[in-house]
A = this chain, B = another copy of it.
Amino acid sequence: MQLGMIGLGRMGANIVRRLLRGGHECVVFDVNPDHVGALAQEGATAAMSLDEFVRALTRPRVAWVMVPAGDPTEQTIMALSQRMDADDIIIDGGNSYYKDDVRRARALKERDIQYVDVGTSGGVWGLERGYCLMIGGEAHAVAHLEPIFKTLAPGLGDIPRTPGREKLGGTAEDGYLHCGPAGAGHFVKMVHNGIEYGLMQAYAEGFDILRNAISQDLPEEYRYNFNVADVAEVWRRGSVVSSWLLDLTAMALAEDPTLSNYTGFVQDSGEGRWTIMAAIEEAVPADVLSASLYARFRSRRAHTFAEKLLSAMRQQFGGHTERPTGG
């Protein structure tokens, strides 16, 4: 079927490529004409303006917006909706806050434009492996888009079936899922990313403990000089901590077990923060997910005011003068 894509960064462009390979027709637009041109050469229909983009789409139009979350997404969707008609569908495929989805869906609903939010996981691997799609919106709009989702998702592949799944039915094992009304897709994607932070931090702390086993303040016979690349590799085989993130860890450590090219400054995106806010709104204890987020915050500071205050209290109480020594 036909789909329009606005935003041809890595994610948007690869989604278009996977759709083209699947036999779909794609109209593409981006503020950068080079990106448009590149995909036109791969078979997409180029649009050089938003107006042209909308005109090139057949009604009911389907437009996937894949631009940065926040203001760019908000403005693109609003500009787009002003050019669209009843029964057209706007998909927000970015990393929006689910509360923004609810608000936008309600606004568009007044003009009978459908709003569908799609949380997308797959990273740079998605083009080949397929994307895991978490979808929110009205059932009939989601149903209309099913050919798109089927092509983008990984499908059953060679991943073993979950026992009992055959009785449950549904599309989850194809790799896409209608999670609920507007916002539900991004809510599930938000929690997905919150979990991702937690998983990453669990591995990170574990490997930190392995790496520092040699410098332990213990007698020599309790210190170990572990080959962390080999440890990551062996855990991929038959161990309960095997996972895709461990596969990626093994790749990084195989390249350089000291990770000396990485600064250790770690960014965070909105989803990790929103996950904690949702936990607080639900009164759910989320110790691990919070600690994972805070580890990233801390990684981006040389020192916190908090730490200086600790030093200051120690000085005032015990006359301790802190000296910068190793850990």
Is B322 a contact partner of A234 (Cβ separation < 8 A)? no
Which among A126, A171, A180, A202 has the highest number of chain B CB atoms within 10 Å? Answer: A202
Chain B's nearest CB lies how many Å from the CB of A275?
7
Kindly state whether residue A123 has any CB partner on chain B within 8 Å.
yes
- Please measure, in the bound complex, the distance between the C-alpha atom of A229 and the C-alpha atom of B320, giving whole angstroms: 21
Measured CB to CB, the closest approach of chain B to A47, in angstroms, equals 26
Residues on the B chain within 8 Å of A237, using CB? 130, 132, 153-155, 157, 159, 172-175
> Do the beta carbons of B322 and A212 come within 8 Å of each other?
no
Closest to A192 in B: B241
Contact residue among B123, B259, B262 (Cβ-Cβ distance under 8 Å from A317): B123
A50 at the interface (CB under 8 A from B): no
B243 touches A242 (CB 8 A): yes
Q: Which of A31-39, A51-59, A298-306 contacts B (4 or more CB under 8 A)?
A: A298-306
Closest B residue, CB atoms, query A179 = B226
Partner pick for A309 among B121, B208, B313, CB 8 A cutoff: B208
Q: Tell me whether B318 and A124 are in contact (CB under 8 A).
A: yes
Chain A 235-257, CB within 8 Å of chain B: the 1/0 string? 11111111111111111111100
- Cβ–Cβ contact B241 & A195, under 8 A: yes
Task: Report yes or no: A243 in contact with B191, Cβ–Cβ below 8 A.
Answer: no
Taking a contact as CB atoms closer than 8 A, the residue among B235, B313, B318, B327 that contacts A300 in the complex is B327
Q: Pick from A74-82, A83-91, A139-147, A217-225 the stretch touching chain B.
A: A217-225
Cβ-closest chain B residue relative to A175: B237
A134-B234, A230-B170, A309-B204 are known contacts. Are A124 and B194 too (CB-CB below 8 A)?
no
Contact A281 B238 (CB under 8 A): no
Q: Which residues of B contact A317 (CB under 8 A)?
A: 123-125, 240, 245, 248
Q: Is A222 in contact with B287, judged by CB distance below 8 angstroms?
A: no
CB distance from A194 to the nearest CB of B (A): 6
Contact A254 B202 (CB under 8 A): no
A277: interface (CB < 8 Å): yes
- A280: chain B residues within 8 A (beta carbon): 273, 276-277, 293
Contact of A177 among B216, B234, B296 (CB under 8 A): B234
Of B194, B202, B242, B282, which contacts A288 at CB under 8 A?
A: B202
The answer on a CB contact under 8 Å between A207 and B309 is yes
Q: Is the CB of B238 within 8 A of A210?
A: no
* A123 CB contacts on chain B under 8 angstroms: 240, 317-319
Partner of A279, one of B121, B164, B209, B284: B209
Cβ–Cβ contact A313 & B153, under 8 A:
no
The 5 A-B residue pairs with the shortest CB-CB distance, nearest first, are: A198-B202, A243-B243, A264-B303, A175-B237, A204-B306
5 A-B residue pairings within 8 Å (CB atoms): A184-B226, A259-B311, A264-B322, A265-B303, A268-B283
Seed contacts A179-B230, A208-B286, A248-B312; 19 additional CB < 8 Å A-B pairs: A124-B317, A129-B238, A162-B233, A162-B254, A180-B224, A184-B226, A187-B224, A198-B199, A204-B313, A205-B279, A207-B309, A217-B283, A242-B243, A267-B325, A268-B283, A273-B280, A276-B290, A283-B327, A296-B310
